[in-house]
Homo-oligomer: A and B are copies of this chain.
């Protein structure tokens, strides 16, 4: 039985506390002192884990995306036809992020504005990791004849992500963030459009 917390445990506990404080105070008003108090450790200890408030929030987002990747991989390697799996993966990549910020939709704008430049850079890496999982399913579907042979799977993976990026919390207003069912329907329609295309098949 483990009786002492490891460095990783503390890291996780700090991020959990940051999530609660971001919901309570918003990004601007949350201080490292508040956070140390919430966790019950000294402020210096927080800085041993995170150099700044911005880095803390970026780590929080990284953790969210790592969990999302786990879910995407589970769907990608799970049951169902490749087209159905792609659609579920698109729904998951949008709704997982939406649910992750659902408890602080009000203060999200100020957080996103504050870390915008760093976040835009980070997103590139997140999207690339997601694209590899989507490309895997596209290649499998192409081998078995579900997807057209002419499809460039790497480019198509990026297009699928790009098409749903406008539905991520970053691009939504507080009102839209609250409309989960609308977001879900929009992703579903987009997925169907990209699977079937507009052109008549006659």
Binding site for B on A (CB under 8 A): 83, 86, 109, 112-114, 116-117, 120-121, 138, 141, 145-149, 151, 155-156, 158-160, 162-167, 170-174, 176, 186, 189-190, 193-202
Nearest-CB residue, chain B, relative to A187: B162
Docked complex Cα distance between A109 and B147 (Å): 39
Q: From DSSP, what is the main secondary structure of chain A's interface residues?
A: helix
Cross-interface CB contact of A163 among B145, B174, B190, cutoff 8 Å: B190
Q: What B residues does A164 contact at CB under 8 A?
A: 163
Q: How many copies does the complex hold?
A: 2
**Is A162 touching B167 in the complex (CB atoms < 8 A)?**
yes
Kindly list the 6 A-B residue pairs having the minimum CB-CB distance in the complex, ordered from nearest: A197-B197, A165-B166, A120-B173, A163-B163, A113-B113, A196-B197
With A117-B173, A163-B163 as given contacts, are A198 and B83 in contact (CB-CB < 8 Å)? Answer: yes
